[in-house]
Amino acid sequence: MPEVPDLEAIRGFLNRRIVGTTIERVDVTIPVVIRIPREDFTSLLTGTTLGEIHRYGKFLLFSTGNGRVLVINPMLTGRFSLVEPTAKKLGRTCFTLALSNGCELRYADQRVMGRVYLVTPEEVPSLPQFSDMGPDVLDPTLTEDVFRQRIRKYSGQIKSILVNAKFVAGIGNAYSDEILWEAGIHPYRKRTEITDEEMTKLYNAISSVLRWSEGVVAEKMSESLDYSEWRDHLKVHRRGGQPCPRCGNTISEITAGQRITSFCRHCQP
């Protein structure tokens, strides 16, 4: 699943390359992901200019010259590529935008779980899932005081809270493991068991882990958007059985509810 570092890298890559280009042709091959009729999607986008791309949580928002916003929630397997028209298409490419710079922006989705909307700016906040989200995890207004006030509403396991978009938007399974390892907090501890000092460590770890990872992913994605999820830089997620990079003890890995959780029992008591 693309998470904030991936989506921020994609956003930066596209902002450097497609802002100001015109959509000359729209090809829809798997219309089920698009939440308006195919004909409307095609006619509204054809001939318009692409503006700046923004991100909120796990949504990417493409502004357009006709006042509409192309909103994409890639869910688990949504992938973007910006390629020459002759490049081989990824499996289950859902739609292609042929741009005036000679490239094609393509969206593929192996599980066809993503959701694509074309709406007015006023309609964006009421979109499914979007309307339920809390503040974006990297929003500067999410101060430590605001973070603490919001988290008091939740009493479950801390990892489950972090990945709950109603709490804050943008943290997924992989980076919740990294954040909790950085903060030294066991993923299955209850929020009510976490001390004030640990809460400060958690708040600081969110920003440091995501910002650092964003830079790593952006560097890997500097030349091509045709990518898989970049996870080689992660220190604990999906590294069960390997030594912890902090203490050397073996990293534990638990699968529950189709979610893999990786952590160090020594560093995260």
CA distances, 231 to each of 100, 113, 177, 196 (Å): 33, 22, 12, 31
- Contact (Cβ atoms closer than 8 angstroms) between residue 204 and residue 156: no
Nearest to 167 by CA among 178, 182, 183, 156: 156
**Cα–Cα dist 108/29, whole Å:** 10
Contact 182, 205 (CB under 8 A): yes
- Closest by CA to 79, choosing from 117, 106, 51, 55, is 106
The helix (run of H) or strand (run of E) holding residue 5 is helix 4-17
Q: DSSP letters of 111-130?
A: T---EEEEE-GGGGGGSTTG
Q: Which residues 6+ apart lie within 8 Å of 21 measured at CB? A: 49, 50, 99, 100, 101
Beta strands in 65-142 (DSSP E): 69-73, 78-83, 93-99, 104-109, 115-119
Residues across the chain: 269
3-state secondary structure of 94: strand
Question: Would you name the residues annotated as active-site residues?
Answer: 2-3, 58, 259
Torsion sign, CA atoms 151, 157, 161, 162:
positive
